[in-house]
């Protein structure tokens, strides 16, 4: 079970949003590479990075910051936001990404996702971001008519490494992960699922260890880590099977 610390990039800075609204950005670090190194030092073994500007503009915008992150940490990095072509996928993987996350293009052009999975086995994840149970695209700015499970099932057998499922209504507001919807998705497909959106406290970490959640690959944490609501040592100890000294809600 992996806890993925998140670095969301806006204008070269490490920020967190509420409900995906760029106007709500809180700056947590103006040196994303240093933040990546700090997460590695805290014991995390993966890093989740999103190019927020890229997600809205449809092309990579914070590539310099991502490059600096890749140089700063030895941890594998997954990146989403503005990656829409096979050429972009290949370029990022050549630069050292462990895997790319395809979101909007998974809705607009699912065949491209299948091609990418075949060309780069184990290195392509699909990001499914939902609002009110429907998939959102273009940096969450547009709603589609697709249901979450309907979209996920399009990629069964394609070789997708993971599905990153985000409940937009919970993202960045510390209300707890939507466990019911996340586990329903994990039950509906054979692709590993990563929970995202709303992770708020050690209670969510403990929830990750419950039997029905163990099929998940892990969960992503952003604001709760930056605000100190989750102690990394305690969280990682719980996920590695060592009892926490205390459980806070």
Phi, psi of 131 (to 5 degrees): -130, 120
- Residue 8 is among the residues annotated as catalytic for this protein: yes
Q: Measured between alpha carbons, how far is residue 2 from residues 32, 48, 56, 187, 218 in Å?
A: 21, 11, 28, 19, 4
Yes or no: say if 14 and 43 are a contact pair by the CB < 8 Å rule: no
List 11, 51, 94, 129, catalytic entry: 129
Identify the burial level of 225 via C-beta atoms within 10 angstroms of its C-beta, where 0-12 means exposed, 13-18 middle and 19 or more buried.
buried
Q: 136 forms bridges with which residues in the sheet?
A: 129, 143
Query: Pick from 49, 5, 9: which is nearest to 25 by CA?
Result: 9
Distance in angstroms (rounded) separating the CA atoms of residues 106 and 112? 8
Q: Which residues are catalytic?
A: 8, 129
């Amino acid at each position: 079970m992996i806890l993925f610390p998140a670095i969301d990039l806006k204008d070269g800075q490490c920020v967190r949003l509420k409900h995906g609204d760029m106007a709500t950005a809180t700056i947590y670090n103006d040196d994303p590479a240093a933040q990546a190194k700090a997460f590695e030092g805290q014991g995390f073994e993966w890093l989740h990075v999103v190019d927020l500007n890229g997600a809205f503009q449809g092309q990579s915008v914070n590539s310099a910051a991502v490059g600096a992150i890749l140089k700063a940490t030895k941890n594998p990095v997954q990146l989403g936001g503005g990656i829409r072509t096979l050429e972009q996928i290949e370029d990022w993987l050549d630069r050292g990404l462990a895997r790319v996350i395809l979101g909007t293009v998974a809705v607009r052009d699912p065949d491209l996702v299948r091609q990418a999975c075949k060309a780069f086995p184990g290195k392509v994840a699909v990001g499914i971001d939902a609002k009110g149970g429907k998939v959102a695209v273009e940096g969450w700015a547009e709603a589609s008519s697709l249901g979450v499970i309907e979209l996920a099932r399009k990629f069964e057998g394609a070789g997708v490494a993971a599905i990153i499922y985000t409940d937009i209504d919970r993202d960045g507001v510390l209300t707890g992960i939507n466990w019911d919807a996340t586990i329903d998705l994990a039950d509906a497909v054979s692709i590993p699922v990563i929970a995202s959106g709303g992770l708020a406290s050690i209670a969510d970490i403990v929830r990750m260890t419950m039997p029905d959640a163990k099929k998940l690959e892990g969960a992503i944490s952003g604001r709760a880590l930056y605000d100190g609501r989750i102690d990394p040592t305690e969280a990682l100890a719980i996920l590695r099977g060592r009892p926490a000294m205390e459980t806070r809600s």
